[in-house]
Amino acid sequence: MQNPVIILGAQNLGTAALDIFYSNSVVVYCFLDDSKNLQQQEINNVSVMSSTEDSEFLKLIGKKCDVFVAVEGTPERKSLVKMLKEEYKVVPVNAIHRFSSVSEFAWLGHGNMIAAGAVVNNNAKVGDNCLIQSRAVVDTNAQIGDYAQIGAGAIINSEAVIEEGAFIGTGAVVVSGVKVGKNARVGAGSVVVADVPAKATVFGNPAAAIKS
């Protein structure tokens, strides 16, 4: 049986991770969160014990507990992952819901969240610390870069490439072979039929750049 897990972050992403671990009968030891309003509270029967910098809890990681980083902001998640690697020599575990479908021929990195109903098909590649929400589909030979976020019900078609830090909104479709660049954003419900440059924001069907 997997070790108990400490979840860093006790807000929406943290409670989603808790649900995923519960679906696999994995014990969650506690939450750590930097919000003082949450500390010493219980969320879904799990205590928020302290901040994400509390060494008394962090020193358990890699020895008695695993860890999952569920802090909402990507820069903050990156900072915590870096700290865990450098100071504690550990990487976050994957949180894969029991009712998701991940092919045995897919490749997954570390620290990914794959929610209920999500599908990762054969020969797809998912990097580290990605968020793949409920009923999203990552199809055959698609590639998802580190820290990418795939919204609920989004479809990443075969051989599409989602680069590091990109955000794909709820229900969006990225058609086969299209590349969404680093830190780009695709609006909810959009249909992406052409490559999206790094840091661009696109929306619509077909998706077009939003001009500032």
Mapping DSSP onto H, E and C, the string for 32-85 reads: ECCCCCCCCCEECCEEEEECCCCHHHHCCECCCEEEEECCCCHHHHHHHHHHHH
pTM flag (> 0.85): yes
- Distance of alpha carbon 175 from alpha carbon 193, whole angstroms: 6
CATH 2.160.10.10 residue ranges for the chain? 94-202
Strand partners, 200: none
Ranges of H-type helices in 59-152: 74-88
Residues 190-206: what's their mean pLDDT?
97
Tokens 């020969």 correspond to what residue? 123
Please give the pLDDT value at position 176: 98
Q: pLDDT, tens digit, for every residue of 20-51?
A: 999 999 999 999 999 999 999 999 999 999 99
pLDDT at 2: 80
* pLDDT category of residue 210 using cuts at 50, 70 and 90: confident
Chain-centroid distance, C-alpha 171: 17
Place of tokens 């939450």: 31
* pLDDT for residue 22: 96
User: Would the pLDDT of 98 be above 60?
Assistant: yes
Place of tokens 């990097």: 127
Considering the chain, tell me which residue range(s) the CATH 3.40.50.20 domain(s) occupy: 5-93
The predicted model gives 178-195 an average pLDDT of 98
Look at residue 212 in the predicted model and tell me its pLDDT.
59
Which class in CATH covers the domain with range 94-202?
Answer: mainly beta
At CA 176, angle to CA 175 and CA 177, rounded to 5?
115
Residues with Cβ within 8 Å of 80's Cβ and at least 6 positions away in sequence, in order, are 8, 52, 69, 71
In CATH, the architecture of 5-93 is: 3-Layer(aba) Sandwich (3.40)
